[in-house]
Structure 1
């Protein structure tokens, strides 16, 4: 087994590689595959569309219109094309604007409207980075009219030459950052004259002049330039070197502080590229900016597959509990619903289930969620909810629930033991196999509430139903995988290689990628033989964690996954809760979208599945 897999199986052991280590065989293998994009996108390889607008005023919200669009597309210092059109504003151009730009009402009378000009410009600029001098003005106008036309705005990246100039040019060189001043400073070949195409051409020369200065400071990629906006601190930019020696394949990265403590753990299919984003404008989270300021080094652990990296991330977060990670730090905090072993059983909310053969529901990530599922079950089954111990012949007094007909009332001795046992048996079946009784009971409650115009109460039942069905579906899926002693599965990845994973009782025990020209059967046999031994604890949770099991299940359920071998059965109940998930999702979407519901609270556009 590789050292990567060894460390995966034993998360407490030293990591096999770090950000300050280079020259390993694995890293050299990845280095052979590096491209220009691995260190960011070099400015010489990026296509820019420099745009300028002329308008009738300063704000589209105030009714101002576009009168001219000019743009120049460049890459590597070469002009690839130009775009220019007058635009009919369907309104009179103010006299002072006409004097400033030279554009008159007569000139735009036969020009295309913005409804025609904007699509043409977006087609011209497609796939490029937008550049403008005072970009919020120009891009703001374009976005406004795209929204007005109900036209989706492309996900353009935007550079503002005004902001770049303020970081690069000093007051000694020019008194301000106006386009005319910068054009003079950088000796632009075109003089700005308040016409769109001329100003766009001048902006191209200014942009190249700014890029030349940035290159002298070691900023040569688009990501470097983007990091110069106000959202990226100097401390972040100074630590860009922390990503230089990281691997370029899938793996986990750990930001470490001054005392070598783990500040943050993350994962990526391309570790180096992902870590670099923490030092650029693409990282907008204030917590991450603070974390980067404290970081002294970045440690990386290479993994064979993306799934292995995700699993390792979960285990490292649980092990180190980093301050700046918000999720997965407490994988053992779970709640379950189970039937008690008493003469008169009841549902109990517990923290663990030591024998998963007992009827149970969970794990739940929070007590509140578990209580909602518990309330849903009590709507369908009139078993006792009191917590006192009852003998076989109780002689207590009935509670309020018994008087309301919502409990069989074993506490006063009036309940028939055979009838109560039948109800408990039906409840146990619901927990592990068939949610029909709960679904129908809650639908009935929703119907009654809706007829009485108690819509808030109907919504409460709807939410309980959703929680129960999702929890039951997850519980059944986890139980099926945990019951299986071993699964070996493979999937052809996007790069054409076969990723293989060995799973034992829901835990990822080994992972790898079949090398080219290797005998697949022999290679898989060796991987299985070297995989971690997992002892079945017989508990409700997998040998790893519920979150890891969820990750594994999502991978197994992807299109293209093939089962290589299995020990034991991997099955889910025929009438299980998964068959109800589509209906629950439709209800939630309809609620969020405001779609009318029928008397059961179901969206009228969704047919209830037949049984």
Structure 2
């Protein structure tokens, strides 16, 4: 394992474990990380300090990071890859900042995936490789609660990357939007299309990472209002309500 990988392995472990910021520099002070890496780590620490999350926090106080990834398939363990990543930073259901990047895969994009997502080999020719894109993606989503529809798919690719390269996994809080929709509506919503259709939300750029994130942001704003009407006002309330399903 080279110095670059050692730095990232240790940095991600410290962040996932919530090591106080004062302890991190001494733990990493072995001269193997660059100035840019130190600045990145410092930024993540500041974000975590500003966004301390506990179960008693009002849902209005929590920064929710809505995420979506476009991939070449469903199994990173069998060689499927990430083609695009998008995220929206939301507070009280309002989008405050967005992130989007294409990713250049190691293998050719299957034709049926290009047909579904609109992403072709030409589109990703000059896009960053995953290790570079993931660095900026992780920086963006740090300090918030991650949420998405069928988020297990996105987490499987995120965790495969983190485990393959740094022997760590995503440790921060996250929610799947699907069971939240089903809880408040008391019916089954197997796909994002079903949920969007129920709430009258259009998504002209469906199956694009940024298009889906914007649609989910609209959905999340409506869900927050419904949660409040059901007296679900804190993270604890939400976890408890989902646990009773």
| Fold similarity call, TM over 0.5 | yes
* Contact 2:95 2:217 survives alignment (8 Å): no
Q: Give 1:392-431 correspondences, 5 Å limit.
A: none
- Tell me if 1:78 matches 2:94: yes
Gaps of 5+ in 1: 1-36, 235-611
- Tell me if 1:214 matches 2:230: no
* Contact 1:77 1:208 survives alignment (8 Å): yes
What is the match of residue 186 of structure 1?
Answer: 199
What is the match of residue 175 of structure 2?
Answer: 159
Q: Give 1:177-256 correspondences, 5 Å limit.
A: 177-188=190-201, 190-191=203-204, 193-229=206-242, 232-233=243-244
Structure holding more helix per residue: 2
TM-score by length of 1: 0.30
From 150, 162, 166, the counterpart of 1:134:
150
TM-score by length of 2: 0.73
Paired with 2:204 and 2:241, the residues of 1 have a C-alpha distance of 27
Paired with 2:111 and 2:244, the residues of 1 have a C-alpha distance of 44
Paired with 2:156 and 2:240, the residues of 1 have a C-alpha distance of 21
Deviation at 1:144, TM superposition (A): 0.8
Paired with 1:200 and 1:39, the residues of 2 have a C-alpha distance of 25
Task: Classify 1:191/1:169 alpha carbon distance in 2 versus 1 (closer, same or farther; 3 Å).
Answer: farther
Paired with 1:176 and 1:163, the residues of 2 have a C-alpha distance of 8
Deviation at 1:152, TM superposition (A): 4.0
Q: Give 1:99-498 correspondences, 5 Å limit.
A: 99-150=115-166, 152-171=168-187, 176-188=189-201, 190-191=203-204, 193-229=206-242, 232-233=243-244
What is the match of residue 19 of structure 2?
Answer: none
Deviation at 1:179, TM superposition (A): 1.2
> What secondary structure is seen at the aligned counterpart in 1 of 2:123?
helix
> What secondary structure is seen at the aligned counterpart in 2 of 1:70?
strand
Task: Classify 1:38/1:93 alpha carbon distance in 2 versus 1 (closer, same or farther; 3 Å).
Answer: closer
What is the match of residue 403 of structure 1?
Answer: none
Q: Look at both structures and tell me which one has the larger radius of gyration over its CA atoms.
A: 1
Paired with 1:158 and 1:38, the residues of 2 have a C-alpha distance of 13
Deviation at 1:190, TM superposition (A): 4.2
Task: Classify 1:39/1:95 alpha carbon distance in 2 versus 1 (closer, same or farther; 3 Å).
Answer: closer
Give the alignment's Cα RMSD to 1 decimal: 2.0
> What secondary structure is seen at the aligned counterpart in 2 of 1:145?
helix
Paired with 1:78 and 1:209, the residues of 2 have a C-alpha distance of 11
Deviation at 1:147, TM superposition (A): 1.4
Paired with 1:160 and 1:138, the residues of 2 have a C-alpha distance of 10
Deviation at 1:233, TM superposition (A): 3.4
Deviation at 1:169, TM superposition (A): 2.0
What is the match of residue 566 of structure 1?
Answer: none
Paired with 2:164 and 2:203, the residues of 1 have a C-alpha distance of 34
What is the match of residue 56 of structure 2?
Answer: 40
Deviation at 1:62, TM superposition (A): 1.2
1:363-421 superposed Cα distances (whole Å, 9 cap, x missing partner): xxxxxxxxxxxxxxxxxxxxxxxxxxxxxxxxxxxxxxxxxxxxxxxxxxxxxxxxxxx
* Contact 1:50 1:132 survives alignment (8 Å): yes
Deviation at 1:77, TM superposition (A): 2.6
Task: Classify 1:190/1:143 alpha carbon distance in 2 versus 1 (closer, same or farther; 3 Å).
Answer: same
What is the match of residue 114 of structure 2?
Answer: 98
> What secondary structure is seen at the aligned counterpart in 2 of 1:188?
coil
> What secondary structure is seen at the aligned counterpart in 2 of 1:99?
helix
Paired with 1:66 and 1:169, the residues of 2 have a C-alpha distance of 32
Task: Classify 1:93/1:127 alpha carbon distance in 2 versus 1 (closer, same or farther; 3 Å).
Answer: same
* Contact 2:158 2:170 survives alignment (8 Å): no
What is the match of residue 51 of structure 1?
Answer: 67
> What secondary structure is seen at the aligned counterpart in 2 of 1:107?
coil
Deviation at 1:186, TM superposition (A): 2.0
* Contact 1:165 1:177 survives alignment (8 Å): no
Paired with 2:177 and 2:89, the residues of 1 have a C-alpha distance of 15
* Contact 1:183 1:191 survives alignment (8 Å): no
Paired with 1:149 and 1:38, the residues of 2 have a C-alpha distance of 29
* Contact 1:186 1:205 survives alignment (8 Å): no
Moved >3 Å (runs of 4+): 151-154, 189-192
> What secondary structure is seen at the aligned counterpart in 2 of 1:142?
helix
Deviation at 1:226, TM superposition (A): 2.0
Deviation at 1:216, TM superposition (A): 1.1
Task: Classify 1:89/1:73 alpha carbon distance in 2 versus 1 (closer, same or farther; 3 Å).
Answer: same
Paired with 2:77 and 2:128, the residues of 1 have a C-alpha distance of 21
* Contact 2:84 2:103 survives alignment (8 Å): yes
